[in-house]
Structure 1
């Protein structure tokens, strides 16, 4: 059970109200698997603010801290909610963002959201190169993918469908190809684009890293496939993003394999509530790797 506003220690709630005014109502956000509190606060001045908080003892504390660091350096005017205040209070990491209303982006074929999303990504790439702040290198995220991939690849061949395809892709991975000086979101998908008045906003920067500019575009490809595009169509869409056009082919295929094996691992062994959607994501990733390996 995720914590609620009233579950926060009194000093934490008091500190939040020092920043935003008296809280009249708190609407929890239950979507997503990230531990911690996420809630929309309604304040006495008629405004709203988005509160995220987690105990420093939580395994997710480092991700909240990473989102805090990224939020502090996102340039003004970027299509992302502004971090109004952050701090650590009585063993809780607290983030206060401006609230962005709207809906999840629709990435399906023919959706008018698709060009908006791609153009927003191009804006991010340009505005966040060079990387404006201190975040971990992309290797910090890739290491987790590699660990899960290694565990699956240790299975007997008959227990892991398409094992040879994945291994061949990973054998060509040069970690240096992922390095760069762009602040990457790293977890772009339909739920992390909020469409408000026909304008996309990019939310949830908990996995932000420094890396090659093309990485965010590459990680959108399986999301497009999952939404109904073929792998060929997904890659054609990405041509709208300048950074994608110069992405090294072997590195893209290896990253696709790592991304897919991570989702497959989570579909098999992760929390029960996430297995179905991770299985769908893994199937989209498999189709993409197969296309690139043909």
Structure 2
């Protein structure tokens, strides 16, 4: 369920002052519509620069997402935005990131963004998983498949796990193959290297791909070829159950679309 978004102007004065200690007086504040974890999400500018600010009350049930993003950020060079500062003040936890200029990735069939996303996932697959506290993929999925299948999801690799196209920004300023970046690392996870390609499959199907087409794009990621066929099928089953649960609890067009995509993938895996 989405966290209720509030404006930056509703921060306590001490918290606002802590932000401006880093930025200087704010000239513009553009509230961000995307994202579900943050109460504060805004792009701000001052005389000294531009930042993306994310924030939650320190006692919010999802306060752990702020801690996770702060912990993982130093290890994401070339993959995500740099974290420049963190303030825990006046009951708030606030993160200040560099702004990534770009647009949301287009996952539709034939999109020129698809090779860029594949390249991004290849780079992520080559990134060592840091020795920080992260949930394990098999823990996250343990209620959605039979226990023996959890072995397929375990591994030592760094995963993003939320391949919503709104979390992938594509810019035109970089060289081809290095234009995409991942934002919102709150659900960073440790697990089998091929799982992010699997998460991408579901979003590709939701964007109009057939399961066959989506798996062809997953196959552009080298780690995909390390996955046993029965492991992929187990992962598809797990996600069909995850999205069925989410869409039942929060039935809106986008959750239902993802539930349909995950179900279509699992049906393909069972019969293909």
TM > 0.5 fold call:
yes
More relative contact order, 1 or 2 (CA 8 Å, 6+ apart) = 1
The 1:63/1:90 distance shift into structure 2, 3 A limit, reads: same
Aligned residue among 178, 183, 186 for 2:158: 183
The 1:189/1:280 distance shift into structure 2, 3 A limit, reads: same
1:236 is the counterpart of 2:213? no
- Greater share of helix residues, 1 or 2? 1
User: Which residue does the alignment assign to 2:119?
Assistant: 119
* Cα deviation digits, residues 35-71 of structure 1 (max 9, x gap): 41100011122x2100000001111111222112111
User: Which residue does the alignment assign to 1:289?
Assistant: 266
Distance 2:113 2:225 in 1: 21
1:56 is the counterpart of 2:58? yes
Aligned length: 262
User: Which residue does the alignment assign to 1:247?
Assistant: 227
Distance 1:88 1:60 in 2: 15
- Asked if the contact 1:81/1:203 (under 8 Å) is kept, the reply is yes
Give secondary structure in 1 for the equivalent of 2:224: helix
* Cα deviation digits, residues 193-232 of structure 1 (max 9, x gap): 1111161111110100111111111111111111111111
* Cα deviation digits, residues 161-189 of structure 1 (max 9, x gap): xxxxxxxxx34743232121111111112
User: Which residue does the alignment assign to 2:176?
Assistant: none
Distance 1:118 1:173 in 2: 30
1:264 is the counterpart of 2:244? yes
Structure 1 unmatched runs, 5+: 150-169
User: Cα RMSD over matched residues?
Assistant: 1.7
Distance 1:39 1:173 in 2: 43
Give secondary structure in 2 for the equivalent of 1:51: strand
Aligned residue among 2, 11, 32 for 2:14: 11
User: Which residue does the alignment assign to 1:217?
Assistant: 197
User: Which residue does the alignment assign to 2:101?
Assistant: 101
Q: Where do 4+ consecutive residues of structure 1 move more than 3 Å?
A: 170-173
Distance 2:98 2:233 in 1: 37
For normalisation by structure 1, the TM-score amounts to 0.84
Distance 2:139 2:152 in 1: 14
